[in-house]
Structure 1
Amino acid sequence: MATKMTANGVSTTTAPGTEQYETFYFAHRGKQISRVMYDYRDTDNELFSCVAPTLAECRHKRDEWLAKKSNA
């Protein structure tokens, strides 16, 4: 990724149909935990954001979101 995920708490994902993600780490009970922060801007310019343990899980959540949108 060339840029940070957010600028002042606002997503920097601007182009429709694009995704952006960043892995971050934190400590919990002596273990280092990793999570992926994920943004996707759909072709309607609506932003989907989530945090999950893996990029694959983020993309799965995005696909579920897109499926719900198309059925609405």
Structure 2
Amino acid sequence: MNHQPNNPLHGITLQRLLEELVDHYSWEELGRIVNVRCFNNEPSIKSSLKFLRRTEWARKEVEQLYLDTFFI
């Protein structure tokens, strides 16, 4: 396994990251923090993962929110 000691997201899947954020904030609050349609209009893990995997800027915002929420 490739170890990345300076990457706090190493080993955390995008699905796990998103599920933990939804559990912590709720879809409604998450949609206010990161204003993307997949969080505000009939949100689901599946549709959000599809969007985040194709949209780098949104994925980076969600990853940063995760770090700010759970690591700082």
TM > 0.5 between the two?
A: no
| Structure richer in strand, relative to its length | 1
TM-score (norm 1): 0.32
Question: Which has the larger Rg?
Answer: 1
Structure 1 or 2: larger helix share? 2
Larger RCO (CA under 8 A, 6+ residues apart): 2
Compute the TM-score of the two structures, normalised by the length of structure 2. 0.32
